[in-house]
């Protein structure tokens, strides 16, 4: 298993390759990994050659049981790894010692607290200072109860179990251990706006089925969004934006039947937007901007009847907009800028009369602007620049009485500016003549 774990190819930095190789060779000598056929890597050498970049290697090692330990090792700058404790209780070890692919069991209250203290001990000095309330009881050295001793960022349920972990914007530096994912009574987990590295433990997606709020925004997380995310059927808020997540959005995202706010923007996500997203009937906000998504916007978008904010800007989406987008009568914000989208869109938005802001710049839309635009009494701003719209502006545009910003430069629009729109162009361009 161990010899086949790393791809035999160039392209990785020598430092990374040597470090991972050293760690894997060390890990394979440990009793919980050695000679374990059940947990061995099934990939052939041919398949290994398909692992073309750093993120794929990370994901592969993580999947077969080494990644959490590797990240822990490297984040602590270990010059040489220390031995694993086979029972996972050695306080001198810097490693997460859960057996790979082992079915997770709920940990006791005492172990729940011990896991938090172990995580604290793994963080840098500044982070540990912030968590000074996470401590053993004075004099007795017994583990205190975070529910009775006001541990910072911790909240508990009536049963005295940790249900809320909120350390947002605390400048926490470190990684997220697997044990956090064994706290099965967590309903809120918010570690956003910190400096957390590594990968999100699979136990969080696989085990915390009671979560309704999960937030890791603006960290330095890497790796894939696993298919086990589909287990979080009670999840209402998911914030993973502004990280380094890669790979596709899994089809299982469509199993999050309770989700209301889904924000994955500013990552390195690839592949198509899954059609299963149409199952998210409670979804109100969808932000996927600034990724590397490809393909068409799925027809199933028209099933998202609760949706009022969409931002898919700065991707590589292509093709015509599905006509079903006209079903989104609650829509107030539509942003599809900087893609390769084509065909007609304005005619499909006529039923979306609640639109407040529209940003379609930087695409290849090509319809007649004088025939297809609807009446949007709440519309404040619209940007159609850098497309292939044609035709003339007519007085109908003046019925959008709330309009304060209108950009149409770099199209094929001709004719005169209606009097009703003169003030709008003046506010945008400084005079009454837009740059067609």
**What pLDDT was estimated at residue 28?**
53
Enumerate residues 6+ apart whose C-beta is below 8 A from 155: 162, 163, 164, 165, 166, 188
> 336 in the Ramachandran plot: left (φ > 0), alpha (ψ -120 to 50) or beta?
alpha
- For residues 156 and 183, the answer to whether their CB atoms sit within 8 Å is no
242 & 347 share domain? no
297 & 343 share domain? yes
From the list 296, 247, 221, the residue with the least C-alpha distance to 68 is 221
121 & 70 share domain? no
Q: Would 386 be classed as within a structural domain? A: yes
119 & 246 share domain? yes
Q: Model pTM?
A: 0.75
**Residue where one domain finishes, among candidates 51, 75, 99:** 75
417 & 293 share domain? yes
Band (pLDDT 50/70/90 cuts) for residue 345 is very high
63 & 120 share domain? no
Which range has the worst mean pLDDT, 131-145, 205-219, 251-265, 292-306? Answer: 131-145
C-alpha to C-alpha distance for 313 and 359, rounded to whole angstroms: 9
Burial grade of 30 (CB within 10 A; 0-12, 13-18, 19 or more) = middle
Q: Would 235 be classed as within a structural domain? A: yes
C-alpha to C-alpha distance for 343 and 364, rounded to whole angstroms: 7
115 & 215 share domain? yes
C-alpha to C-alpha distance for 172 and 174, rounded to whole angstroms: 7
Q: How far is CA 151 from the centre of its chain?
A: 28
Q: Is the pLDDT of residue 393 over 60?
A: yes
Between the two ends of the chain, the Cα-to-Cα distance in Å is 63
202 & 338 share domain? no
63-101 pLDDT tens trace: 443 444 444 344 334 333 333 333 333 332 233 333 333
C-alpha to C-alpha distance for 139 and 262, rounded to whole angstroms: 47
**Residue where one domain finishes, among candidates 248, 271, 294:** 271
Q: Which residue has the higher pLDDT, 269 or 183?
A: 269
303 & 433 share domain? yes
- For residues 25 and 2, the answer to whether their CB atoms sit within 8 Å is yes
Q: Would 86 be classed as within a structural domain? A: no
331 & 421 share domain? yes
**What pLDDT was estimated at residue 423?**
62
**In b/e form, how buried is each residue of 307-342, taking b as 16+ CB within 10 angstroms?**
bbbbbbbbbebeeebbebbbbbeebbbbbbbbbebb
Total domains in the chain come to 3
Q: Would 103 be classed as within a structural domain? A: no
User: 42 is in which domain, residue-wise?
Assistant: 2-75
263 & 286 share domain? no
Q: Would 95 be classed as within a structural domain? A: no
As a whole number, mean pLDDT of residues 127-154 equals: 76
Q: Would 92 be classed as within a structural domain? A: no
Q: Would 376 be classed as within a structural domain? A: yes
12-71 pLDDT tens trace: 444 444 445 555 555 554 444 444 443 444 343 334 433 334 444 444 444 443 444 444
Length of the chain: 436
As a whole number, mean pLDDT of residues 370-397 equals: 87
Token code pair at residue 97: 């010692």
Q: Which residue has the higher pLDDT, 68 or 190?
A: 190
Which range has the worst mean pLDDT, 140-144, 297-301, 345-349? Answer: 140-144
Q: Would 405 be classed as within a structural domain? A: yes
CATH, residue 319? 3.80.10.10
Rg, the chain, Cα only: 26
Which range has the worst mean pLDDT, 66-70, 264-268, 422-426? Answer: 66-70
Q: Is the pLDDT of residue 273 over 60?
A: yes
């Amino acid at each position: 298993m161990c010899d086949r774990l790393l791809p035999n190819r160039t392209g990785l930095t020598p430092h990374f390759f040597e470090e991972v190789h050293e760690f894997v060779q060390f890990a394979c000598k440990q009793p919980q990994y050695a000679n374990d056929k059940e947990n061995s890597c099934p990939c052939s050498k041919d398949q290994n050659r398909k692992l073309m970049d750093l993120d794929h290697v990370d994901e592969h090692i993580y999947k077969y049981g080494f990644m959490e330990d590797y990240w822990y090792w490297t984040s602590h700058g270990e010059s040489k790894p220390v031995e694993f404790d086979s029972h996972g209780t050695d306080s001198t070890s810097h490693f997460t010692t859960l057996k790979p692919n082992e079915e997770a069991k709920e940990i006791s209250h005492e172990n729940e607290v011990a896991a938090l203290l172990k995580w604290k001990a793994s963080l840098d000095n500044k982070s540990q200072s912030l968590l000074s309330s996470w401590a053993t009881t004075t004099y007795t050295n017994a583990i205190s109860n975070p529910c009775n001793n006001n541990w910072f960022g911790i909240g508990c349920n009536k049963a005295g179990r940790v249900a809320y972990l909120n350390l947002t914007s605390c400048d926490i530096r470190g990684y997220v251990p697997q044990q956090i994912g064994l706290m099965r009574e967590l309903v809120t987990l918010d570690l956003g706006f910190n400096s957390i590295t590594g990968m999100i433990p699979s136990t969080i997606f696989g085990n915390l089925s009671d979560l309704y709020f999960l937030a890791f925004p603006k960290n330095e997380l890497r790796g894939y969004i696993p298919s086990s995310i589909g287990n979080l059927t009670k999840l209402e808020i998911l914030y993973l934006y502004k990280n380094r997540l890669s790979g596709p959005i899994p089809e299982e995202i469509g199993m999050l039947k309770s989700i209301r706010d889904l924000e994955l923007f500013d990552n390195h996500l690839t592949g198509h937007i899954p059609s299963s997203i149409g199952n998210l009937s409670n979804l109100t906000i969808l932000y996927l901007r600034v990724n590397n998504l490809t393909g068409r916007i799925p027809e199933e978008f028209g099933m998202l009847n609760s949706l009022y904010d969409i931002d898919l800007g700065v991707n590589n989406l292509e093709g015509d907009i599905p006509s079903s987008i006209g079903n989104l009568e609650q829509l107030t914000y539509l942003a599809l800028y900087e893609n390769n989208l084509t065909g007609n869109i304005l005619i499909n938005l006529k039923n979306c009369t609640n639109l407040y802001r529209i940003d379609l710049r930087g695409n290849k839309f090509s319809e007649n602007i004088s025939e297809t635009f609807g009446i949007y009494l709440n519309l404040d701003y619209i940007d159609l620049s850098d497309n292939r719209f044609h035709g003339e502006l007519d007085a109908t545009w003046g019925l959008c009485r709330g309009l304060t910003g209108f950009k149409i430069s770099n199209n094929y629009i001709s004719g005169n500016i209606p009097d009703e729109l003169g003030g709008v162009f003046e506010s945008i361009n400084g005079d009454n003549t837009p740059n067609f």
